[in-house]
Amino acid sequence: MKIAAPATKSSEESKVGGQRLVALLTDNAVLQIDIQDALESVGYGVWIAASQRRRSPKRTEPGTLSAAIIDLGSGDSSARKLLEKLSLRGIPAFVIGTNADVLDDAKQFPNVLEFIEMPFCIDAFLPNLADAANS
């Protein structure tokens, strides 16, 4: 399901060192590595958002995000909180979930451009991510 892209920061404001930056939040280490590798292979920088479940030290969210990929399927409250913050800033988000209930919950956020049910192939949504990050 696709939804029209919201207004975002200008292309130059969403780059760090000339590279687009995508936030990634998942508590699944294999999924994180796969998505990070795919994004970096096509020239994106990746900001790994700390999950409450992973007990990582909290990192400050950068102000220069182009887009976000958030796994709501884990049930981690920090994922929903990050989605709320990014929605207020108009940053496009792609939501990953394991069932329809999780994905239905994400429909209330206007910045969610695509709902991705697991299992999935990251190559299937990379073109949509590129369009959102470049707008």
Angstrom CA distances, 65 to 11, 60, 103, 121, 132, stand at: 10, 12, 22, 23, 11
Residue 106 CA to residue 124 CA, distance in Å, equals 20
Residue 6 β-bridge partners: none
**Residue type present at position 24:** L
What pLDDT shows up at residue 5? 33
The count of domains in the chain is 1
The pLDDT tens digits along the chain (135 residues) read 333 333 333 334 444 445 789 999 988 889 899 999 999 998 999 998 866 444 443 454 556 889 999 998 777 678 888 899 999 999 999 998 887 777 777 888 999 988 888 888 888 878 888 888 877
In terms of residues, how long is the chain?
135
CATH of the domain at 69: 3.40.50.2300
Q: What is the span of the domain harbouring residue 92?
A: 21-126
What pLDDT shows up at residue 100? 74
What pLDDT shows up at residue 94? 92
Residue 24 CA to residue 31 CA, distance in Å, equals 10
**Is 4 among the domain residues?**
no
Q: Where are the alpha helices (DSSP H) in 22-121?
A: 29-41, 77-89, 100-106
DSSP 118: S
**Is 86 among the domain residues?**
yes
What pLDDT shows up at residue 28? 86
**Is 133 among the domain residues?**
no
